[in-house]
Amino acid sequence: MMLWIFFAVAFVAFLGALGLVFHSNPMVAGLCMAVAMVAQGCLYMLLHVPFLGFFQIIIYAGAVMVMAVFIIMAHGMAEQGQEVSLTQTVATYVAAVLFLVQALRAVWNAAPPAFTEVDRAFGSLQQFGNLLVEHYAVPFELASLVLLTAMVGAVVMARRIWE
């Protein structure tokens, strides 16, 4: 039963991803990406990490994609994407196929996974919090500093363009 639900949700995520790549309307493509994000969050929940699934939905579908869609709307590109030349299209497909072949080869050659049972506390919010505060406090803060720097830089550059 759970397996069928898993595959159904995974299929939705797959459709969303396809829509993101192939739909010519950037707004609809963004919407498809949001659908893929929500489906991915549901996959996390089915894999017994519910809080990660919720964060996936809150942050990616609820905030990041809303901002992306906002930018698409504000720039008025909503009607049609840019014209793409035939060479560009062909080159993109060739690159995609090459990447797919390489990825499949990597998966094929990988050692068969040795599944080990993890205890029920694995992936719980408590465990995540403890790890974050006790082991990964410094890297986490560093990452936030990098993001802050990027944000300040973006604001400065945007101001320069305005003035």
Partner 1 sequence: MNAWLAILLPAAIKIVVILAIVLTGVAYTTLAERKVSAWMQDRKGPNRVGPFGLLQPVADGMKFFFKEDITPRQAYKPVYLLAPLCTLVPALVTFSVIPFGTEITVAGKSYPLWIAPGMDLGLLFLLSISSLAIYGIILGGWSSGNKYSIFGALRGASQVVSYELGVGLSLLTVVIWSGSFGLQDIVNAQKGHPWFFLTHFLGFIVFLVAIFAETNRLPFDLPEGESEIVGGYHTEYSGLRFAMFFMGEYANMITASALLVTLFFGGWNLPFVDWAKFGPIWGGVLSAAVFFTKIAFFLFFFIWVRWTLPRFRYDQLMNIGWKRLFPLALANLLLMTTLMVFFGFGVKQ
The site for partner 1 (CB under 8 A) is made up of: 25, 27-28, 31, 34, 38, 41, 50-51, 54-55, 57-58, 61-63, 66-67, 69-70, 73-74, 78, 125
Q: Is 134 exposed, middle or buried (0-12, 13-18, 19+ CB in 10 A)?
A: exposed
Contact 60, 37 (CB under 8 A): yes
Considering the complex, state which of residue 17 and residue 124 has its C-beta at the smaller distance from partner 1: 124
Q: Is 37 exposed, middle or buried (0-12, 13-18, 19+ CB in 10 A)?
A: buried
User: What's the half-sphere exposure (Cβ side, CA atoms, 13 Å) at 62?
Assistant: 8
CA distances from 159 to 74, 75, 147, 156 (A): 18, 17, 18, 5
Considering the complex, state which of residue 6 and residue 128 has its C-beta at the smaller distance from partner 1: 128
